[in-house]
Amino acid sequence: MYIPSYYEFCCKVKTVAGHGTLERIPGLLEAMGARNPMIITDKGVSQAGLATIVINAIEDKISIGSVEDDVPPDSDLKVVNHIASIYKKKACDSIIAVGGGSVLDTAKGVNIVVSEDADDLMQFTGAGALKRELKPLIAVPTTAGTGSEVTLVAVIADHDNNRKMLFTSYFLLPDAAIIDPRMTLTLPVHIAAPTAMDAMTHAIEAYICLSKNPLSDAHALEAIEMISNNIMAVMEAPDDGDARLALGTAATLAGIAFSNSMVGMIHTLGHSVGSVCHVPHGTCMSILLPYGLEYNMHKVGDRIAELLFPLAGAKVYATTPRQERAQKCVQYTRDMNQKLYEATNGIHARNLKEITDRDQNPMVPQSKLPEIARTALGDGSIFYNPEALEYDDCLMVLTAAWQGEKLDQSKVRKG
Amino acid sequence: MENSSFEYLCRTKTGFGKNALDHLPSDLSAMDAKKPFVITSKAVAQSGVTAHLIDAFKESGIILGIWDNALNDNLVDTLRDLTDLYNNKGFDAIIALGGGVVADLSKILNIIVSKGPHALKECKGTDNIDAPLKPLVYIPSGICTGRETSRYACVAEYAYDSQFLMPDIAVIDPRMFSKAPWEDMVNEALRSFTNCLESYAKEDNPLIRSYAYTALGVIMEALPNIMESDLPNNNQSQDQEHLPLLAKASVINGYLISNCDTLVCRPLGKMISEKCSAPEGVCMAIILPYVLEFLCKDRETGRILLPLAGIERYCAIPDTQRFGKVLFIIREIINDFFRISNGRVPRTLEEAGLKQEDLAGIVESMSKRTDIESKALALILDNAMSGRSMTSS
């Protein structure tokens, strides 16, 4: 077991996972002295009927102060301040956030404004601006991937000034995360596949990158095994509630793992493909996962080898010669992408050149790879990667991932 | 997994390792604490470790007040005095430095100073605190039981159970530990070991498994060192290497006992210990294999070998042999302690001094706390008396 000389671990979020757990929300709020929650969600979640499922599950036991579904796909400062003003007008005393990353970010932003009794979120930028507990916040994730329900970060865009603001504080952690499979049961398989691989990447990078620690490792191992054991079950039977629950729970575990250990180059490059070419995050993660493992193999091959156990099971691990385990682990992630490609009738892309938009136009032209590589150098996660990356290294990895060819490990510069 | 659901909560941020204390001033600042009240005992203060705490805050601008008179008696009077001190001196956070008594006093003081003097009575019982209290830090300095970081606190007739009693921060810094008797270390190790392994086996909860896996890894690493250190003959630790590791496991044990309220070995071990000469942790470990055999009789259970054996050894052992290996490892640990302590650490309840005539009373008390039938409890105890395996009966 790798034990750093000093490490910290914190996840103050009460995790409540299982069938029928939405019904627990009124009790959880009551225990925190809250009686009039505001539901924050977005139009997509509302239209999919998920907000209604939440409302039906709780309205007998608690009055709902307001339902706000105006959250844009990219969280927005004005929306945060506007929703906060409604919260105050309707005398709400807590928040239930139903949605993905943007909804969670917005809810965290609103919670800052209403808890501090302010009018504008801008008063609370910068580290250490928050000094006390905020109002009760319950997160109900509707995708099984991002892990936002257990992270202490909120990213809010200030579109007027064309910038993104980052808020980081333990006080931003939700009080509870509710993992109920009813929230993901209708998620189409071609979205479930990359979001699950997003969670898988969180867990794998948490386990192999520089800031790992024994507690993040333990969460990561559980998450990887749960995803590996259940992802194909969801592909084959999308209404399999148990498998959906397992993926949702695993995403939360992976979120806990990476928020206590950071992520590395798969995120570095993935963020950049996302920001330059507007590709969904999970798709970037799925494609880049094997390449991140190959690039770091000479540095952390022993850690990668251990991952064969949660990915493939005890028997495969024990019967694979020790020196072959790490490469087999990489092959296993490639095989998963291939199976997901087949299960989604080719929608789940296996390489960057296969990614298309709704009109079947390629989203990542090869000519964009240099811009993506340059963007990657400014991403904070690059510092936590076991092996250093410079521009040429990023371009080499991106080129291989674009073609869908294995990385030539002899060309990786060994620092 | 149909109809299954689970919950898990650990409110504490934990810092482990070298110079961990140095992070405390900024962590307290982030909670707006400017004047923490340190509560400790004379013994801890005299060991000199408070100097490290004072050092860590030297250039932080945060002023510490230190009270070092925690004793085991007159705790209710002590609480009244501490409340006056806290309020009159304008403290705004609490740092508990030491073991169980210090932690209990600090938690209950926190209820009073956060909610008012009436809260001493009003917040008694389970879940009667509905909001976070003032910032509370726990720093172990020797033997711990795990209760320090749990949701429980008790002084005299005042007993509390609330998530808000878990400390905001726990800091395990090797500099803060002084010596401890070898047999106390063994007891601490076996207590954490038993709670963690039982939680891992019993709860279908991946968060509980993650914490238990980590703590068991720490204990399995510490055990051979404790055994080989030739300490039983001196009965006094000659170095401080093992205590921080054990404290790490105990702190996690506190998180686990806050989340698993149906553990069997913990209450049963306590009842046995009250009737014999062996300490609680040792009694818990003696009954652990029997309790596991009972709990796991109808379930797939090989998985619990993983935290004890590690990935490599676990994968090498066929599924059908894993549970047997678990029982073997537990018994080997107990038997080794028996051998190297020249018999002072018992292997069976009989060796622990428990009398046959006490068994019925223990079964009766325990059957009120668990849904395990009296007959099964009697069988567990009967076998553990002599060290006979359950399968043979």
Count of domains forming chain B: 2
**Closest of B223, B260, B214 to residue B242, by C-alpha:** B223
Cβ of A9 within 8 Å of Cβ of B14? The answer is yes
Cβ of A14 within 8 Å of Cβ of B1? The answer is no
What lies within 8 Å, CB to CB, of A242 at 6+ separation is A181, A230, B1, B2
Residues A151, A201: one domain? Answer: no
B-chain CB neighbours of A250 within 8 Å are: 206
Greater confidence, A131 or A15?
A: A15
Which pLDDT band, with edges at 50, 70 and 90, does B54 fall under?
Answer: very high
Residues A178, A211: one domain? Answer: no
What average pLDDT does this structure show over A290-303? 97
Chain B contact for A4 (CB, 8 A cutoff): yes
Chain B: give the shortest CA distance to residue A85, in Å: 24
Is residue B299 predicted with pLDDT exceeding 80? no
Residues A240, A265: one domain? Answer: yes
In a domain, residue A3? The reply is: no
Chain B contact for A48 (CB, 8 A cutoff): no
Pairwise CA distance, residues B43 & B66, whole Å: 14
In a domain, residue A65? The reply is: yes
Question: Of the candidates A183, A202, A226, which is a domain's last residue?
Answer: A183
Q: Which domain holds residue A38?
A: 14-183
Q: What is the pLDDT of residue B72?
A: 74
Greater confidence, A94 or B237?
A: A94
A-chain CB neighbours of B207 within 8 Å are: 15, 219, 253, 256
Which pLDDT tens digit goes with each residue over B61-110?
999 999 998 877 788 889 999 999 999 999 999 999 999 999 999 999 99
What average pLDDT does this structure show over B10-30? 96
Q: What is the pLDDT of residue B130?
A: 86
Cβ of A16 within 8 Å of Cβ of B316? The answer is no
Residues B353, B235: one domain? Answer: yes
Strands (E), A11-162: 14-18, 37-40, 66-68, 94-99, 137-141, 153-158
Q: The domain that contains B130 carries what CATH number?
A: 3.40.50.1970
Which pLDDT band, with edges at 50, 70 and 90, does B310 fall under?
Answer: very high
B-chain CB neighbours of A221 within 8 Å are: 210, 213
Which pLDDT tens digit goes with each residue over A23-33?
999 999 999 99
In a domain, residue B126? The reply is: yes
Choose the closest CB to A131 out of B11, B15, B31: B31
In a domain, residue A2? The reply is: no
Residues B71, B162: one domain? Answer: yes
In a domain, residue A322? The reply is: yes
Pairwise CA distance, residues A398 & A272, whole Å: 11
Cβ of A218 within 8 Å of Cβ of B213? The answer is yes
Interface of B with A in 6-25 (CB under 8 A): 6-20, 23
B140 near B176, Cβ under 8 Å? yes
What average pLDDT does this structure show over A333-341? 98
Instruction: Compute, in degrees rounded to 10, the torsion defined by CA atoms B382, B386, B391, B393.
Output: -50
Which pLDDT band, with edges at 50, 70 and 90, does A1 fall under?
Answer: confident
Q: What is the pLDDT of residue A3?
A: 86
Residues B248, B369: one domain? Answer: yes
Is residue B263 predicted with pLDDT exceeding 80? yes
Residues B325, B204: one domain? Answer: yes
What average pLDDT does this structure show over A57-79? 94
Q: What is the pLDDT of residue A159?
A: 86
Instruction: For A40, list phi and psi in degrees, rounded to 5.
Output: -110, 130
Cβ of B17 within 8 Å of Cβ of A5? The answer is yes
Opening angle at CA A88, ends B133 and A105, nearest 5: 70
Is residue B240 predicted with pLDDT exceeding 90? no
Task: Locate A181 and state its tokens.
Answer: 């499979």
Residue type at A407?
A: L
What average pLDDT does this structure show over A361-370? 96
Q: Which domain holds residue B247?
A: 196-392
Choose the closest CB to B17 out of A4, A15, A315: A4
What average pLDDT does this structure show over A238-246? 97
Which pLDDT band, with edges at 50, 70 and 90, does B392 fall under?
Answer: low
Is residue B236 predicted with pLDDT exceeding 70? no
Residues A242, A145: one domain? Answer: no
Which pLDDT band, with edges at 50, 70 and 90, does B235 fall under?
Answer: low
In a domain, residue A9? The reply is: no
In a domain, residue B4? The reply is: no
Q: Which H or E run includes A42? A: none
Residues A374, A395: one domain? Answer: yes
Residue A97 pairs in a beta bridge with A40, A139
Task: Locate B360 and state its tokens.
Answer: 């019925």
Greater confidence, B202 or A331?
A: A331
Q: What is the pLDDT of residue B3?
A: 45
Q: Which H or E run includes B136? A: strand B136-139
Instruction: Compute, in degrees rounded to 10, the torsion defined by CA atoms A85, A166, B167, B270.
Output: 110
Which pLDDT band, with edges at 50, 70 and 90, does B332 fall under?
Answer: very high
Question: Of the candidates A153, A183, A213, which is a domain's last residue?
Answer: A183
**Closest of B135, B217, B140, B214 to residue B172, by C-alpha:** B140
Choose the closest CB to A318 out of B18, B218, B316: B316
Q: What is the pLDDT of residue B1?
A: 41
Prediction ipTM score: 0.95
Residues B169, B119: one domain? Answer: yes
Q: The domain that contains A289 carries what CATH number?
A: 1.20.1090.10
A-chain CB neighbours of B2 within 8 Å are: 19, 241-242
Is residue A69 predicted with pLDDT exceeding 90? yes
Question: Of the candidates B129, B147, B176, which is a domain's last residue?
Answer: B176
Q: What is the pLDDT of residue A415?
A: 83
B173 → chain A, closest CA residue: A6
Q: What is the pLDDT of residue B237?
A: 53
Is residue A21 predicted with pLDDT exceeding 50? yes
Residues B23, B151: one domain? Answer: yes
In a domain, residue A246? The reply is: yes
Cβ of B14 within 8 Å of Cβ of A306? The answer is no
Q: The domain that contains B312 carries what CATH number?
A: 1.20.1090.10
Count of domains forming chain A: 2
Contacts 24+ apart (CB under 8 A), B77-80: B78/B105, B79/B105, B79/B108, B79/B109, B79/B112, B79/B120, B79/B155
B1 near A242, Cβ under 8 Å? yes
Q: The domain that contains A19 carries what CATH number?
A: 3.40.50.1970
Cβ of A9 within 8 Å of Cβ of B315? The answer is no
**Dihedral sign computed on CA atoms, order A124, A129, A133, A139:** positive
Residues B224, B274: one domain? Answer: yes
Chain A: give the shortest CA distance to residue B64, in Å: 19
Interface of B with A in 302-341 (CB under 8 A): 310-311, 314-316, 319
Q: What is the pLDDT of residue A88?
A: 97
Residues A179, A198: one domain? Answer: no
Instruction: Compute, in degrees rounded to 10, the torsion defined by CA atoms B77, B79, B85, B87.
Output: -130
Chain A: give the shortest CA distance to residue B5, in Å: 4
Pairwise CA distance, residues B319 & B264, whole Å: 25
Question: Of the candidates A150, A183, A216, which is a domain's last residue?
Answer: A183
3 state DSSP class of A192: helix
Residues B59, B156: one domain? Answer: yes
Residues A327, A356: one domain? Answer: yes
Which pLDDT tens digit goes with each residue over B163-218?
999 999 999 999 999 888 889 999 999 999 999 999 999 888 999 999 999 999 99
Which pLDDT tens digit goes with each residue over A243-255?
999 999 999 999 9
Residues B154, B279: one domain? Answer: no
Is residue A121 predicted with pLDDT exceeding 80? yes
Chain A contact for B254 (CB, 8 A cutoff): no
Residues B23, B169: one domain? Answer: yes
Which pLDDT tens digit goes with each residue over A204-213?
999 999 999 9
Residues A214, A359: one domain? Answer: yes
What is the separation, in whole angstroms, between the first and last Cα of chain A?
24
CB atoms inside a 10 Å sphere around CB B2: 8
Pairwise CA distance, residues A384 & A283, whole Å: 22
A-chain CB neighbours of B3 within 8 Å are: 18-20
In a domain, residue A1? The reply is: no
CA separation (Å) from B262 to B154, B157, B281, B366? 19, 23, 17, 12
Q: What is the pLDDT of residue A37?
A: 98
Chain B contact for A219 (CB, 8 A cutoff): yes
In a domain, residue B186? The reply is: no
3 state DSSP class of B239: coil
Residues A127, A208: one domain? Answer: no
Residues A32, A78: one domain? Answer: yes
Which pLDDT tens digit goes with each residue over A254-284?
999 999 998 999 999 999 999 999 999 999 9
In a domain, residue B348? The reply is: yes
**Average pLDDT taken over every residue of chain A:** 95
**Average pLDDT taken over every residue of chain B:** 93
Question: Of the candidates B142, B176, B210, which is a domain's last residue?
Answer: B176
Task: Locate A91 and state its tokens.
Answer: 């005398």
B349 near B287, Cβ under 8 Å? yes
Which pLDDT tens digit goes with each residue over A353-362?
999 998 999 9
Residues B40, B171: one domain? Answer: yes
Residues A23, A132: one domain? Answer: yes
Residues A254, A360: one domain? Answer: yes
A201 near A290, Cβ under 8 Å? no
What lies within 8 Å, CB to CB, of B40 at 6+ separation is B50, B66, B67, B68, B70, B96, B97, B98, B102, B141
Residues B167, B222: one domain? Answer: no
